[in-house]
């Protein structure tokens, strides 16, 4: 059994957030999102998208900004396509080699949605709750991990994956700027899974904003 720490490719800078409006801002996800573990196959994209939007709107509420609505299936499909490409190629980047959808602008246009402003957040998160933590591998074949004090580190639920991803984006200046932009009114997020990544796999996320 060995101790290690996992890192993810998203900026992580300490951010001070005022708590004055916290009590008035909802952060409640659905019971299904809270209780359901994100599977390796057959991911419920809508359930994750909704959970992430709850987190995004919580932070926007604290900043005194309006809520973002669902950008629709067209943008979600483009986000999923980009996430799948990143998972397949192991590249965390806004540019892909997908013909006709290689850039953010092309993906937004292909979604069929009308927009004047658009932006994109991307990230990758391990399937198990080990990111930015020191942990011990109990059984790598069975995907059993514990914290240094022996607490089990389970696979992410839809709710914990959403909160972890959005927290990482909020702690990164560029990603935070996209989330708190006054120019956007809709958002859509999709995820793809890479089962071959170290520590029992990683999720690759693409979050798009339009206004």
Structure confidence at residue 22 (pLDDT): 56
Structure confidence at residue 24 (pLDDT): 84
Q: At residue 72, what are phi and psi to the nearest 5 degrees?
A: 100, 170
Dmax (CA) for the chain in angstroms is 53
Residue closest to 210 by CA, chosen among 177, 193, 187:
187
Q: Could you tell me the pTM of the whole model?
A: 0.87
> 188 or 7: whose pLDDT is higher?
188
- Give tens-digit pLDDT for 104-153: 999 999 999 999 999 999 999 999 999 999 999 999 999 999 999 999 99
- Give tens-digit pLDDT for 25-79: 989 999 999 999 999 999 999 999 999 999 999 999 999 999 999 999 999 999 9
Q: How confident is the model at residue 3 (pLDDT cuts 50, 70, 90)?
A: very low
Tokens of 189: 């997020």
Structure confidence at residue 118 (pLDDT): 96
Q: How confident is the model at residue 23 (pLDDT cuts 50, 70, 90)?
A: low
CB 126 within 8 A of CB 100: no
**Which residue carries 């994750």 as its tokens?**
48
């Amino acid at each position: 059994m060995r101790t290690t720490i996992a890192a993810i490719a998203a900026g992580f800078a300490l951010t001070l957030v005022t708590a004055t409006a916290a009590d008035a801002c909802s952060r409640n996800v659905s019971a299904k999102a809270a209780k359901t573990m994100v599977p390796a196959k057959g991911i419920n994209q809508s359930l994750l998208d909704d959970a992430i939007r709850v987190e995004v709107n919580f932070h926007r509420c604290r900043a005194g900004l309006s809520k973002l609505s669902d950008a629709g299936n067209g943008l979600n499909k483009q986000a999923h396509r980009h996430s799948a490409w990143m998972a397949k190629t192991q590249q965390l980047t806004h540019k892909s080699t997908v013909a006709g959808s290689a850039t953010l602008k092309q993906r937004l246009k292909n979604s069929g949605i009308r927009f004047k402003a658009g932006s994109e957040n991307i990230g990758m998160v391990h399937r198990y709750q080990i990111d930015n933590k020191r942990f011990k591998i109990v059984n790598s074949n069975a995907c059993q991990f514990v914290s240094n004090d022996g607490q089990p580190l389970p696979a992410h639920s839809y709710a914990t994956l959403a909160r972890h991803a959005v927290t990482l984006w909020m702690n990164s200046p560029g990603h935070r700027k996209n989330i708190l932009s006054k120019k956007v009114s809709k958002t859509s997020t999709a995820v793809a899974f890479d089962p071959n990544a170290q520590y029992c796999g990683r999720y690759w996320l693409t979050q798009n904003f339009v206004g």
